[in-house]
A and B are shown apart, each in its own frame.
Chain A
Amino acid sequence: MRITNSMLVNNMISNLGKNLSRMEKYQQKLATGKKISVSSDDPVVAARALKLRTDVSQIEQYKKNVKDAMSWLEITESAIADVGDILQRVRELAVQASNGATTPEDTKKICEEVKQLKTQLVNLGNATYAGRHIFSGFKTNQKLLNDDGSFAIDVDSTEVIIYQIGIADSININVTGGDFFNGGGTATTGAFGTIFEDMDNFITALDNGDYDVINETLGKLDIQQNNLLRIRADIGARYNRLELTDNRLGNDGLNFTKLMSENEDIDQAENIMLLKSEENVYRASLAGGARIIQPSLVDFLK
């Protein structure tokens, strides 16, 4: 093939251009830390990157939801534990009042204490989490109980608040007022829950010195304790499930972030090496070009 000067110059310029553009690619990768900057660099990586970003973002959100669900359950659990303590105290007082050796003075004191405990119970029934009433079902902006212990609102047992904690995973985080204060039933406006019925009966009995009713109260309080234990066990189980989910989401988060990084991040060491080698090629082609272009017969004719 006949080689002409223009060919040499053209080829050199185009090869230098190619070398430079390869170097630019590696430099861009080095600067951004990413394998691709536009989807055409690698459509497969780009499509996966989109999916993984969404996955990671959803997992982050689910983790937040789990944390919030846990705090809600913690507040509920502590309210229920307090109710448990109150019931325990009421039971002790009932035992004390029922043994027949108490003076009317003592009975009156016991009665006063039980009344105080009832008020305390009403306060617990209206407990809030971040300004929302936790036992009010869907009516979180309204109090569950009136001061006399009767229900202030209707709460149906279907009013369960569900948090999403996974793509196909959700958990109910509330305990409805009826379930808790009405022995597993529903709450109806104006009616009294079984707990308050029992308390009121006890107070009346103490006032009247009716020892039969006081004795009966012991059995009823045991039923309430059982109901409470059932709910506490349920909350414990739910909390436990949330902890497991939290762990799993933590692992998923790590895994997906790792996948995302493997998918789109560059191997810095490898990239620097490739950049260096491109740099050498570029230098060599510059040096070669300088040699080729320079001499011609013109330089040797005197």
Chain B
Amino acid sequence: MNPGFFGLEIAVRGLYTAQRNLDVINHNVNNINTPGYSRQIANQSASRPIALLNGTGMLGTGSDVTGINRIRDEYLDFKYWSENTTYGEWECKKALMADLEVTFNEPSNSGFSTMLDEFFNSLQELAKDPGSEAVRALVKERGITLAKYFNNMATHMEELQVDLNHQINTKVNRINSLGSQIQQLNKQIYRSELDGNVANDLRDQRTLLIDELSKLVNIDVHEVVAGKLPNGKEDKRMLITINGKPFVDHYDLTKLAVKQRADKLNPEEDVVNLYEVMWEDGNSIQIRGGELKGLLDIRDGNEGENGSPLYKGIPFYIKKLNQFVRVFAQAFNEGIIGGVDMEGHADGIGADNSTGVRFFTMLGTGNLPMSSSDFISNPDCYNELTAKNFCVSSDIINDISKIATSDTPDQIGNIENINKLIKMRNNTHMFTEGAPEDFMKSIVSNLGIDSQMAVRMSANQNAMIRQVENQRLSESGVSMDEEMANMVKHQQAYNAAAIMINTMSEIYDILINRVGL
């Protein structure tokens, strides 16, 4: 026995269900190219049946859409975030190491080895014609070129360090901005989900923001269950920590901040007032991953000296350049090689019978080259010499006859002293690495290997996150074919439901208008 217009009721439900499904498909198709979007499906089930009293059993009442869910494997998100942190770090290092490599510009015909070769070749020419003013001028100019090369390198690296410092500030601001956006989304998601629904699109947006955040800094993401909601569902709250300390804790946000350092981390190599990254509340933080770590490692890295990051960054290479000019200048000026005092430029005698002249000194007041006597009057002079202030002494610049070639006064053709200087070119005791070019070779191969490692790590991590990204897209991405097939399916269901209404309508037409006439 059918109650009233029950048939129409069922058919209308069919229409609604099909329409709801088409709405969801419509939404999916619209968002096929939306970044971070997860496809949604309508959960459809048969609606509650009616128990028939005459013992026929249960009569179906059509279908209902009970919820709209997003298809997402959250495990893949966690995996993506942890791989993305490493990727961010190496991607950043890759670009910066490439910068450093270009600074060194080796192997080339204008790099360090060429400068040194040319300087020593000019000394050889002078040894063959020690009285020639022209060759003496050449030695002076080649010496100045060599010194300027180191000045330029040091200046370029300092500029890079300052530039990185600004970048660090920008990254910290971006991290804070992402944090506050996530905090806002937390509020919206939590409120929308209080009644047991899932805030699909908001959650997608939040995941996208965390994707970006995970590339910048090492984060751990948790959804903490804090008891039960009144409707019986779990009360889930989002917690993002950096090194275990909460960054975004549900509705709360503890920002990161930068503060200018009072003392330099690397006293000799750093420029002044670099930023220290810390918590806004003043607590210190050790960044362990992401682009921020990449920037900090390159800006501060000095092989772990003075608590700097355990990486060979800008301070390391400045340190090496300083080391080079100190040892080289001391060997060339004083003849001190490997702790043994031999004869250097200061022990020789110039064409004007001057003696005790240091060929290389440092830039003094007004950024002008110091004279040999001013330079040497400071007992700590060689420790204060750096790649940035390395220069040819003012004595030599003002009077090329002071270039010491001889070891006895009044002997213009005497080349005993300059021959000793020339031999330093191949003295393998000058540096622990060997001769001057061996030292530089070790710097360049160090840089090459580190840069190569950064390139490889970044390529590996890129492959890794692409793999995870593909898995995510495979799981959550919208497939046009699938949506179209479903569209046809639900369109047909809609058509069928409409025809059911027609049929029911005819039945009622017969029942109402024709029966009994």
Contact = CB atoms under 8 A, between A and B. Distances in A.
Given A58-B117, A138-B413, A163-B127, A40 B455 contact: yes
B480 interface: yes
Contacts of A170: 419
A61 B121 contact: yes
Contacts of A131: 131
Given A40-B451, A46-B106, A54-B117, A6 B477 contact: yes
Interface string B153-169: 00000000000000000
A5 B470 contact: no
Nearest to B470: A7
A136 B425 CA distance: 29
Contact of B480 (A51, A54, A296): A296
B117 A159 contact: no
Interface string A248-292: 000000000000000010000000000000000000000000000
A164 B479 contact: no
Contact of A39 (B116, B415, B451, B478): B451
A47 B118 CA distance: 19
Interface stretch (B79-87, B220-228, B438-446): B438-446
Contact of A5 (B102, B117, B479): B479
Interface residues of B, number: 62
Nearest to B456: A40
A44 B469 CA distance: 35
Contacts of A136: 413
Interface in B369-420: 406, 408, 410-415, 419
Contacts of B449: 40, 43
A2 B118 CA distance: 64
Contact of A65 (B33, B124, B448, B480): B124
A25 B437 CA distance: 29
Contact of A11 (B406, B413, B470): B470
Contacts of A44: 445
B412 A141 contact: yes
B131 A141 contact: yes
A39 B107 contact: yes
A139 B129 CA distance: 12
Interface in B473-498: 473-475, 477-481, 484-485, 488
A131 B134 CA distance: 14
Interface string A19-45: 000000000000000001011111110
A131 B478 CA distance: 89
B144 interface: no
Interface residue SS majority, chain B: helix
Given A5-B477, A6-B33, A140-B412, A40 B448 contact: yes
B448 A46 contact: yes
A51 B128 contact: no
A161 interface: yes
A264 B106 CA distance: 12
B41 interface: no
A257 to B, nearest CB: 14
B113 A50 contact: yes
A264 B128 contact: no
A5 B480 contact: yes
A164 B422 contact: yes
B489 to A, nearest CB: 12
A101 interface: no
Contact of A57 (B121, B414, B445): B121
Contacts of B445: 39, 43-44, 46-47
A147 B266 CA distance: 70
A193 interface: no
B198 interface: no
A296 B451 contact: no
A3 B488 contact: no
Contacts of A58: 117, 120, 425
Nearest to B487: A301
A264 B448 CA distance: 15
Nearest to B37: A6
B225 to A, nearest CB: 30
Contact of B451 (A11, A38, A64): A38
B444 A47 contact: yes
B305 interface: no
A51 B117 CA distance: 11
A4 B477 contact: yes
B415 A162 contact: yes
Nearest to B462: A14
Contacts of A38: 98, 101-102, 448, 451
A11 B437 CA distance: 46
A238 B481 CA distance: 90
Nearest to B473: A7
A187 to B, nearest CB: 14
A207 interface: no
Contacts of B425: 58
A5 B476 CA distance: 11
A53 interface: yes
A141 B474 CA distance: 88
B447 interface: yes
B412 A139 contact: yes
A166 B127 CA distance: 14
Interface in B260-287: none
Nearest to A134: B413
14 contacts: A4-B478, A6-B473, A7-B474, A40-B449, A42-B448, A54-B113, A57-B121, A58-B117, A61-B124, A130-B129, A139-B412, A159-B413, A161-B415, A296-B480
Given A10-B469, A41-B452, 7 more contacts: A4-B479, A38-B448, A47-B444, A50-B113, A138-B408, A140-B131, A296-B480
Give me the 10 closest cross-chain CB pairs, A-B, nearest first: A39-B448, A140-B413, A4-B477, A43-B448, A138-B411, A40-B451, A138-B414, A297-B484, A49-B107, A57-B117
Interface of B: 32-33, 97-98, 101-102, 104, 106-107, 113-114, 116-118, 120-121, 124-125, 127-129, 131, 406, 408, 410-415, 419, 422-423, 425-426, 437, 440-441, 444-445, 447-452, 454-455, 466, 469-470, 473-475, 477-481, 484-485, 488
